[in-house]
Amino acid sequence: MSLHQDSDERDFTQPIVTLSLGLPARFILGGLQRELPTQKIRLMHGDVLVFGGPARLCFHGIMPLADGLHPLLGSRRISLTFRHA
Ligand SMILES: O=C(O)CCC(=O)C(=O)O
Ligand SMILES: [Mn+2]
- Indicate whether residue 6 lines ligand 1 (CB < 6 A): yes
Chain centroid offset of residue 73 CA: 19
- 3 state SS of 81: strand
Question: Which residues make up the environment of ion ligand 2, defined by Cβ < 5 Å?
Answer: 6
Tell me the average pLDDT across 55-76.
97
Of 8, 51, 80, 81, best ligand 1 pocket probe by most atoms within 8 Å of the beta carbon: 81
- With beta carbons less than 8 A apart as the criterion, state whether 72 and 22 touch: yes
DSSP letter for each residue of 9-61: SS-TTSPEEEEEEES-EEEEE--SSTTS--EEEEE-TT-EEEE-GGGTT--EE
Q: Are 85 and 26 in contact (CB under 8 A)?
A: no
pLDDT, one tens digit per residue, over 3-45 is: 999 999 999 999 999 999 999 999 999 999 999 999 999 999 9
Give the start-to-end residue ranges of the domains of the chain.
1-65
Q: What average pLDDT does range 64-70 have in this prediction?
A: 97
Instruction: Kindly report the pTM of this predicted structure.
Output: 0.94
pLDDT recorded at residue 85 = 86
